[in-house]
Chains A and B, each alone.
Chain A
Amino acid sequence: MSPASTSWLIRGAEVAGPGDRAVTDLLLAGGTITAIGAGLSEAGARVVDAGGLMALPGLVDLHTHLREPGREDAETVETGTRAAALGGFTAVHAMANTEPVADTAGVVEQVWRLGRAAGYCDVQPVGAVTAGLAGTRLAELGTMADSAARVRVFSDDGRCVADPLLMRRALEYVKAFDGVIAQHAQDPRLTEGAQLNEGEISGRLGLAGWPAVAEEAIIARDCLLAAHVGSSLHVCHVSTAGSAEIIRWAKSKGWPVTAEVTPHHLLLTDELAVGYDPVFKVNPPLRTAADVAELRRALADGTIDCVATDHAPHPVEAKETEWSEAAFGMTGLETALRVVQRAMVDTGLLDWAGVADRMSVRPARIGRLAGHGALLAVGGPANLTLYDPAAPAEAVSPAGASKSRNTPFAGMPLPGRVVATFLRGIPTVLDGKLA
């Protein structure tokens, strides 16, 4: 990486802002954006020709599995943040289901320090809601909030906080430090042994069905609880049309509810399971084309606040097996922006200002993350992504910076290319490669 003292002059980028798109130069120095305007010059600055490129605020992921500590064979903080930088991210939220679980100040501080050492993007640890993700008693939420990692998002992701009383208490408790509970909405009884969205495909393939209602019932319950106690609920990886409808209704009441959708739920459907290739096995499962259409619409109208990758790396042997034996999850950091271009921008549902909002501004706000998610402005943090939306669609390679290869998009042509990523004025990616 270049020294922090280097200043960078980005020439001729298109800045996505509300309502307008302007071609301009940007000067990055000392970790901030020091000038924006046409025809900028700066002695000693290194120049990036950004003609034809979109300049977006650095992307923020609310939902990343970095697997460290515990499953360093699948991913480490170092490899995961490299993948994040290549995908245009400047901050990721590291989920708590590590081994040991991130349910103490010690573990969240370890993850936070590993992120600082890696340097490819900021790593904000998510704390577990319940001790050991066991769903029986609260983890020490306040201690994690007060730790050096300053945890604000709490989630048992991978498991649902199914006990309604425990969920109520968690929502209430985190009000003391402006926390948010990010719920993995999955009724455990309705999904015992479940493998694939319950519908025509699961019936035909003989795979145990995963009903939409198992997600929707928990979301409805939790929206009511959030309203009752006046605390913030965030819904992870919304996957059904019905879930979007419930969230739209909750928001119409003015309730403090936010939601995310993954790139794969915006593009892929359960029909991909017909070959029983577990690369398409994910939690929540891929749904139907009707669900995909409704999720896109909900993201476009703001019902769903943001895109979050649920990047879930797994080693080869966890997927090269029978479907029911295979692990749930897909990688997603390196392809997220390209998938969003294809699903949302190229379809006319969202403009680039909208992408900046859904992939940077709102996830940073939900994550209470300072220094990220600001629209590009003089005096603001120099966290930004240069993206070429006109790059010809290229087939996705399974081999990337992530340690794992379980991308469902392998071989699929996707448009666009992340050209450069800057973290506080320092390039982490230049010319599409790690800097």
Chain B
Amino acid sequence: MKRHLISAADLSRGDALLILDTAEELASLADRPIKKLPTLRGRTVVNLFFEDSTRTRISFEAAAKRLSADVINFSAKGSSVAKGESLKDTALTLEAMGADAVVIRHSASGAAHRLAGWVRGSVVNAGDGTHEHPTQALLDAFTIRRRLRGGRGGTGTGLDGIRVTIVGDVLHSRVARSNVLLLSTLGAEVTLAAPPTLLPLAVDTWPCAVSYDLDTELPKSDVVMMLRVQQERMTAAYFPSVREYSRRYGLDAARMARLPDHAIVMHPGPMNRGVEIAAEVADSVRSTIVEQVANGVTTRMAVLYLLLGGTEFPEVAA
């Protein structure tokens, strides 16, 4: 594996399987009364969050703490960053503090890439602008494999032949970019379903299929992944109204009924209930939304463990 995790494209199929399999081993830890391993004792992980994202930050924080790492949370609000300090100076400060890994969330695409040029530790991209969010894709892949390949029975296998439909604002979605790359690396057949305005111009160069019609995709989907749609897109003329968007691309109960029986419904959160996903869908048995959150901690543990080269491998499998 590379030293940093910035793009899902950094991961070979072997790398991705190693992370998923490691996460599978770590998952059994979650059922134990004591959830902590000594693996990263004495190592420092910095959560560098320039954007508010409590759910992602606490997920990484829990992951690092369960591996016994020291965690420093650096939030841009109210810090020197708010006073105009540059990303580079922030990076040099963290470097001086001896961060072994920096988990960065930033509103600018490429921020994680830039940071990696300025620090010695490993950089984990926790979402950069409209570029990528690779650990989200890993936890999604982990969730898909568990649900459709039957838990530990899936260990060592990819997602070959699984048909995944990703729906919504692909153009602005870091989740979609990372998932297209990772899921196709793992052998899944990915289709993007969205209005043409919310697809990148050169989407035909991506390793996936494209459809403007959600209804024709649903009966052949094993997985439907709904993306959050931001209401402000409407003012930039990406779609005429939230109601029209919801009517054409929202997943309601009627649409869910068109899915095969085994199909699952995913959402990276936070959800707009009633816009891209109806409440009865979000709360249905097909929904993996709560599992995704739990799997996020496990998957991020695996990423930190593998990047930081923890020496005491957990004997949790025993």
Q: Which residues of A contact B (CB under 8 A)?
A: 195, 198-200, 202-209, 211, 275-276, 317, 320-325
Contacts and interface: CB of A to CB of B under 8 A. Distances in A.
B231 interface: no
Contacts of B106: 322
B201 A207 contact: no
Contacts of A207: 109-110, 130-131
Nearest to B236: A192
Contacts of A276: 109-110, 113-114
Interface in B81-108: 86-88, 106, 108
A203 B111 contact: no
Contacts of A195: 109
Of A206, A320, A325, most buried by chain B (CB within 10 Å of CB) is A206
Contacts of B130: 206-208
A203 B200 contact: yes
Given A206-B128, A206-B132, A324 B108 contact: yes
B290 to A, nearest CB: 28
Interface residues of B, number: 23
A322 B201 CA distance: 24
22 contacts: A199-B201, A199-B202, A200-B205, A202-B202, A203-B200, A203-B205, A203-B206, A204-B177, A205-B109, A206-B131, A206-B174, A206-B177, A208-B130, A209-B200, A209-B201, A211-B201, A276-B110, A276-B114, A322-B87, A322-B108, A323-B108, A323-B109
A322 B89 CA distance: 12
- Which of A195, A204, A209 is packed against the most chain B CB atoms within 10 Å? A204
B27 to A, nearest CB: 31
B200 A317 contact: no
Given A324-B109, A325-B108, A205 B202 contact: no
A205 to B, nearest CB: 6
Contacts of B113: 275-276
B58 interface: no
Contacts of A198: 201
Contacts of A211: 201
A382 B39 CA distance: 75
Nearest to B130: A206
Contacts of B200: 202-203, 209
Contacts of A325: 108
Contacts of A205: 109-110, 131
Given A205-B109, A276-B114, A325-B108, 15 more contacts: A202-B202, A203-B201, A203-B206, A204-B206, A206-B110, A206-B129, A206-B130, A206-B132, A206-B177, A207-B130, A276-B110, A321-B86, A321-B114, A323-B108, A323-B114
